[in-house]
Structure 1
Amino acid sequence: MSYVLGIDLGTSSLKGILMSQEGSVVTTKSANYDIDNPKQGFSEQKPVIWVEALEKVLTEISQEVSDFGTALSGISFSGQMHSLVVLDENNTPIYPAILWNDVRTSKQCQEIMSKMGDRLLEITGNIALEGFTLPKILWLQENEPKVWARVKKIMLPKDYLGLYLTGNIHTEFSDAAGTLLLDIEKHEWSKEIADTFNISMEVLPELVESVGQIGTVTTGIKDKFGIQNEVKVFAGGADNAAAALGVGLIDEEIGLISMGTSGVVSSFESKFTNYDGKLHFFNHTVPQAYYSMGVTLAAGNSLNWYKETFGQGKGFSELLSDVNTVPVGSSGLLFTPYIVGERTPHFDSKIRGSFIGISATHEQRHFSRAVLEGIQFSLRDSKDIMESAKGKTFKYLISVGGGAQNPDIMQMQADIFNTEMIRLTVEQGPGLGACMIAAFGCGFYPTLEEVTKAFVHYQLETFKPIAKNVAEYEKIYQIWKQVYSATKNLSHQLVDFNDGNLK
């Protein structure tokens, strides 16, 4: 028996999943940690807490699994994207990691787009947003010049754990793509971008494929956790890329719908496609491949807000129990899930959500269904961009997250997307993708396709579009799409009024 370990470094916790080489879960462990918010808009963590969390997880796994120390063959990672880690000449962090959800860098984003414009899209496939790494570097240069002067290497969070385990500094293409410093088509750091913003190429880590080996576990780490054999360590992937691999997104005819706090629509891409900034575009964990990604900022978050605000103490099951008694289109009631702004396709931080078409005949069940439909309509925006730009139709979509647990939502997705929907037997998240990378890297399987067959399993039950519902949803979706432009000016005025900026 040989094991692989996937380490998923999230924003609020680190999870470890130990799997056999045949693809079965042996055990999972996790450790939580906090986010520091020293100022409004700031979101930081000290990298040492990630190491402490990893040590806790490794200790618990080694204590539970008797042959862990002799059967562990490979380790890989998935991790939160974009967050900036800066090291000095001793590979010691010299500033808290600035996280992906930190929004202090609006000014720097404007500077990047002013200097690079369309050229940034041509090189990186993305526009500058506060979450990306490059704006954080510019902020550090401007606001902490003494710190920046000491920086010898920049890293992404999961790669700091790779350094801890192996003593080596690397990153891989899926995470590097989220920095706005990678030429994603040439698979190399962009000297043009680095030079434009006075970033030495020397501070950028060596690039490897996600499945590339970055070293072996050091003797000191092996002794600490009772590991007796040589353990190979592989680069891994950004969390979204690893999650895409972990659900089997390795074919252009397959798409992924993820309904968590935010909503994500992902598509496998075999070659570079310029979506004009309407979608995120990154390198995949699959070598020489990519994935596109659209984001609804408040998917599950909208549903949770609705439950907490109007649910009268009901749980989700009770609140949504009668949505199937409401006709398609919620009897003329629409909801837009823009309660925290929106990402795809509008990139508008000041748009706000709305219920449109409220009448005296509407009951709570209509509002419940309208919220669900509005979330799916927003996700469809991303799917439609992918299909129209590529001239393709998805054969089926894999649904994960909260929506995949509800048959009514699954059928709603099938009807609104007009695509067959499938779901996993068990969801393991990005950590499963990390395990798959390690299994391939260790040579347990000849291809990632073979790894997918062994590690990823789907339920037999699928949800197919109902023709009558598809036709009705097409009509209501065309109306729903008009709500953004109809409410944009009003939303912006209301936000400015609330912020005291309305003149």
Structure 2
Amino acid sequence: MYFLGIDLGSSSIKLSVLNAETEKCMASISVPDFELEMKAPRHGWAEQEPEMWWQYVKEGIAKLKEVHQIEIEKIKGIGIAYQMHGLVLTDENLNPVRSSIIWCDSRAASIGESIYNKIGAEACQEQILGSPGNFTASKLKWVKDNQPEVYAKAKYMMLPGDFIAAKFSGVAQTSTSGLSEAALWNFKENRLATEILEAMDISEEIIPEIVSNFGKQAIIDKEIAAALGLSKDVQINYRAGDQPNNALSLNVLNPGEIAATAGTSAVVYGVSNTDDYDANNRINTFLHVNNTPEEKRNGVMVCINGSGILYQWLRKTLSEDSKNLMDYDKLNELASQSEIGSKGLRFYPFGNGVERIFNNKPAFSGIEGMNFNIHQKTDMVRAACEGIVFALNYGFEIMRNVGVEGKVVKAGKANLFLNPVFREIFANTTNTTVELYNTSGAEGAARGAAYGYGYFSTIEAAFKGLECLEKIEPNATLVAQYQEIYQDWKKNIK
């Protein structure tokens, strides 16, 4: 019995197939072979075409069958992880009425702030544990106010993963955790946050059917199944935003457990059993994937937008030939050739839209302390790694102030966590043990689908095959050294 996991990112789409009987991942692929197109019609905007995502999902399934020889007709369930906070608007036939406004688009930040002020800080924080900020609800309001002719065509508001699920099933749905990611979940009363919609003058009719994260959400459309070569009985059994799903992939499910990732953006995500929030709205709280009315599980998250995208920028900038870019292993090697502290060079990785840790406002970004007689590209790369971790630690401090902390951080051995220098900086700056695992978001989504289907009786059972590949322990001497450098870095935060 096989289960398909799909991880819809903004740079690529990853697919994994799990053999539930052996509990092993049979194949994992990424499509396309280049980074997905991201449109920026104006400064601070970021959009992608939802139909492009669907096209590459279909190509990925075909590749699993034709290249990897996977018997895809044995797939029983599908799990979908997706880039959070995006807005997809479709008509009644599930055709997009505009491009998706994705997670790193900043245009709606001022709208979120105005709604927050309209409702009132206390009421808003009590209901959605923060501000609408730049989340999906604010983007929906932006479309209503600025593109009324487009909004008039919209029947459903969905998140990116909801759209892919709908393309499989022909049914528009969203999830409870998805609504919390959109700033549309009332934590106090465990329901849709109609107060936010009312403040935005938006009818709740635009919200599709609400389903749980796990379970029989929908069955594949027969015509889609035939076109893709899948069984007509395939179910959609799981969906979640990429960061809650990353935590699931690492078996991070209970209070005190922490997950991290450093892809396009960098994230620290801790599990809590209380409705805590930061009074200054610098961190995010969502329903975690295993939240139930009987057992509260929230995910408290700090996100830095300029992580892997900064590393991509360095790769392009430092390469001699724009058509023959240096590989990331070379970039990691350059970082290892500089010393701790990067000879006084400080990098501020806040160049990819507004930052939540600064209350959805742009922050000081760039390089400080550059000396043309001293610094080389090795120092620049290491300073970038240090800056990304320092920015995460800045958010980690905020999380600890609301009671979310732990001494072990789990991460997949991927992206920046492939870099030994980055791992050492992270462990010693945060003073935590870093555990690296052999997993991915797509594999986690496949395991989530297997649990949602009912193959595994518990979530924990779905992840008992998870293997820790490496542990990085903090060193007391290095912890003190990095703390001094971090405090110096923090002086320039604006």
- TM-score in same-fold range (> 0.5): yes
Shifted more, 308-317 versus 56-65: the winner is: 308-317
Residue 468 of structure 2: aligned partner: 458
Query: Are the counterparts in 1 of residues 64 and 70 from structure 2 also a CA contact under 8 Å?
Result: no
Residue equivalent to 1:300: 308
How far is 1:366 from its partner?
Answer: 4.4
Query: Could you tell me which residue of structure 2 aligns to residue 232 of structure 1?
Result: 235
- Gap regions ≥5 residues in structure 1: 489-503
Q: Could you say which residue in structure 2 is the equivalent of 1:272? A: 275
Give 1:92 deviation, angstroms: 3.7
Query: Aligned equivalents of 2:115 and 2:162: distance in 1?
Result: 25
Note the alpha carbon deviations across 1:256-311, whole angstroms, 9 max, x for none. Answer: 23222322111122232212211111112223322111122222333444455457
Aligned residue number for residue 479 of structure 2: 470
Corresponding position of 1:420: 433
Mean alpha-carbon deviation: is it higher for 328-337 or for 175-184?
Answer: 328-337
Decide which of 345, 358, 368 is 2:357's aligned counterpart: 345
> Matches of 1:319 and 1:11 in 2, distance apart?
22
Match of 1:336?
348
Instruction: Tell me the TM-score normalized by structure 1.
Output: 0.85
2:22 corresponds to 1:14: no
Report the 3-state secondary structure (helix = DSSP H, G, I; strand = E; otherwise coil) of the residue aligned with 1:82.
coil
Contact in 2 for aligned 1:255/1:396 (Cα 8 Å): yes
Distance 2:409 2:39 in 1: 41
Which amino acid counterpart does residue 444 of structure 2 have in structure 1?
Answer: G
Residues 475 and 342 (structure 1), Cα distance of their counterparts in 2 relative to 1, 3 Å cut = farther
- Contact 2:300/2:404, CA 8 A, preserved across alignment: no
Instruction: Note the residue ranges of structure 2 that are not aligned, 5 or more in a row.
Output: none
Contact 1:340 1:352 in 2 (8 A): no
Question: Is the partner of 1:345 in helix, strand or coil?
Answer: helix
Distance apart, 1:397 and its partner CA: 4.0
Q: TM-score, normalised by structure 2?
A: 0.87
Preserved contact between residue 78 and residue 434 of structure 1 (Cα < 8 Å) = yes
Map residues 346-425 of structure 1 onto 2, 5 A cutoff.
Answer: 346-347=358-359, 348-356=361-369, 358=371, 365-390=378-403, 392-398=405-411, 400-425=413-438
One-letter amino acid of the counterpart of residue 26, structure 2: V
Q: Is the 8 A contact 2:215 2:453 kept in 1?
A: no
Matching residue of 1:120: 124
Mark the CA change 1:291 to 1:372 in structure 2 (over 3 Å): closer, same or farther.
same
Matched, 1:209 2:221: no
* AA in 2 matched with 1:423: L
Cα displacement (A) at 1:414: 1.6
Aligned to 2:140: 137
Going from structure 1 to structure 2, the CA distance change for 1:113 and 1:50 (only over 3 Å counts) comes to same
> How far apart are the structure 2 equivalents of 1:29 and 1:55?
13
Give the Cα separation in 1 of the matches to 2:188 and 2:443.
27
Does the CA-based 8 Å contact 2:258-2:406 persist in structure 1?
A: no
Query: Does 2:153 match 1:157?
Result: no
What is the rounded CA distance, in whole Å, between the counterparts of 1:311 and 1:64 in structure 2? 32
Cα 1:374/1:151, change in 2 over 3 Å: closer
Count how many residue pairs are aligned between Structure 1 and Structure 2: 479
The whole-number CA distance in structure 2 between the counterparts of 1:311 and 1:70 is 44
Cross-structure match for 1:283: 287
Native 8 Å contact 1:311 1:319 kept in 2: no
Aligned-residue offset at 1:325: 6.6
Query: C-alpha separation between the residues in 2 aligned to 1:315 and 1:13?
Result: 17
CA contact (8 A) 1:7 1:78 kept: yes
Residue 60 of structure 1: which of 39, 54, 63 is its match? Answer: 63
Change in CA separation of 1:366 and 1:89 when aligned onto 2, cut-off 3 Å: closer
SS at match of 1:95: coil
Q: What is the Cα deviation at residue 435 of structure 1?
A: 0.6
* 8 Å contact from structure 2 (residues 286, 299) kept in 1: yes
Instruction: Give 1 or 2 for the bigger CA radius of gyration.
Output: 1
- With 466-475 and 148-157 compared, the bigger mean Cα shift is at 148-157
The residue that corresponds to 1:491 in the other structure is none
In structure 2, C-alpha distance between the alignment counterparts of 1:13 and 1:238, rounded to whole Å:
15
In structure 1, what is the equivalent of residue 490 of structure 2? Answer: 481
- Amino acid of the residue matched to residue 336 of structure 1? Y
Aligned-partner residue type, residue 476 of structure 2? A
Does structure 2 retain, via aligned residues, the 8 Å contact 1:4–1:74? Answer: yes
Supply the distance in 2 between the matched residues of 1:40 and 1:364 (Cα, whole angstroms): 28
Query: 1:397–1:419: 8 Å Cα contact kept in structure 2?
Result: no
Structure 1 residues 88 and 401, CA gap change in structure 2 (3 angstroms): same
Question: Letter of the aligned partner of 2:170 in structure 1?
Answer: G
Q: Give the match's secondary structure for 2:472.
A: coil
**Corresponding position of 1:499:** none
- Partner of 1:243, secondary structure, is helix
- Which residue pairs with 1:222 in the alignment? 225
* Counterpart Cα distance in 2 of 1:391 and 1:226: 45
Q: Measured at CA, do residues 70 and 462 of structure 1 come closer, stay the same or move farther in structure 2, by a change above 3 Å? A: same
Shift of 1:331: 4.6
Q: Distance in 1 between matches of 2:42 and 2:49?
A: 15
SS of residue paired to 2:487: helix
Distance 1:91 1:319 in 2: 43
Alpha-carbon distance in structure 1 between the residues aligned to 2:348 and 2:273 = 33
Cα distance in structure 1, aligned partners of 2:72 and 2:378: 54
